[in-house]
Structures are given as C-alpha cells and as structure tokens.
Amino acid sequence: MSSNATLTELLIRERPALLRLVQRILGSDGGAEDVIQSIWFKARGVDSGQPIRNPRAYLYRLAANLATDHGRERTRRTRLLAEHYLWGPDEVLSTEEQVMAQDELQRVLEAAAHLPEPTRTIFRLNRLQGMTQADIARRQGVSVTTVENHVRSALQRLAWARSGH
C-alpha cells in the first residue's frame, strides 16, 4: 500500500482527534476545517516512494504545523485589516499622493528583492510569514541575536529605500 493511501485512511480514522488538536491550537475563532482540508491535500500529495516510519505522528505533526501557520496568517491578516481601517474617509489620498505612495512601495519592494542572503530569507520569515525570531534562529541554525541583526539590517535598508535615497 502506498504512503499517501495509508495517510489518507489514517486521516479519515484520526480526523476527530486531529480536529480537536487543531481547534485547541487555533482557539474558538474557527479555521479548523480549513486546516483539516490542508492536511488532506498534503497527505494526498505525499510521494508513495517516500516511506514514512510513523504515519500517525507525521499527521499530528503536520496538523500542529499547519494550524500554527494558519493562526499566524490569520493574526497577520487581522493586523493588516486593523491598520487599513484606522485611516478614516477624510484621510483619503489624492491622486498625487497615491502615485508617490506607489513609487515608494516600488522602491521598497525592489530593495527587499535585493537584500543579501540570509537577510532576505530571515526578513521574509519574520515580517511576511510571522515567524518568531526564536523559531527562525532554530530553523536557520543561528542565534536569536543573529536573527535580530539581520532583521534590523533589512529594516534599515528598506527605510533608506523608502526615503528615496
């Protein structure tokens, strides 16, 4: 039997317990069904040539990781929406201000694309994917101080690009 068939069958059997785990991680805000669906797609996509020693542990680890990622993304979206709604209708940008803001955004995106490695990856993981500096340090095999220095460096370079220098 292939790995993805085994995982799919196991997912069906373990679905109630996996759903409870995901709900515990995400809290009462929902999204658990979306995570379970993501687990389903990941399990179906596992290459049958990749042996998985402990399929049950694999599914639970996958559930925890996807739930954590989902929660971080939800937090990031909520923060961005809150920032968006802080600007009232009387603070609508003029056409000239919109063009200037678009130019500024383009400069920052260009500068971000040209950050040196590993600064670019660390910045992306921290600021765009919402990973903590400690998680990034573990993942990259460096100290938290090193991660902080890379994030600081990236922010300085992007601030410089934003100001139009």
Domain 3-85 belongs in CATH node 1.10.1740:
yes
In tens, the pLDDT along 44-81 reads 877 666 778 888 999 999 999 998 888 888 777 766 66
Q: Give domain limits for the chain.
A: 3-85, 94-162
Specify the higher pLDDT residue, 88 or 32: 32
Which of 107-130 are b and which e, b meaning 16 or more Cβ less than 10 Å from the residue's Cβ?
A: bbeebbeebeeebeebbebbeeeb
Q: What is the per-residue pLDDT across 6-30, written as a single tens digit (0 to 9) for each? A: 788 898 999 999 999 999 888 865 6
What confidence tens digit (pLDDT) does each residue in 89-112 have? 445 556 777 777 777 777 877 888
Q: Quote the pTM value.
A: 0.47
The dotted CATH code for 94-162 is: 1.10.10.10
Exposure string (b/e) for 31-52, b if CB count within 10 Å is 16 or more?
Answer: bbeebbebbeebbeebeeeeeb
pLDDT for 4 equals: 54
Burial class (CB in 10 A: 0-12, 13-18, 19+), 86: exposed
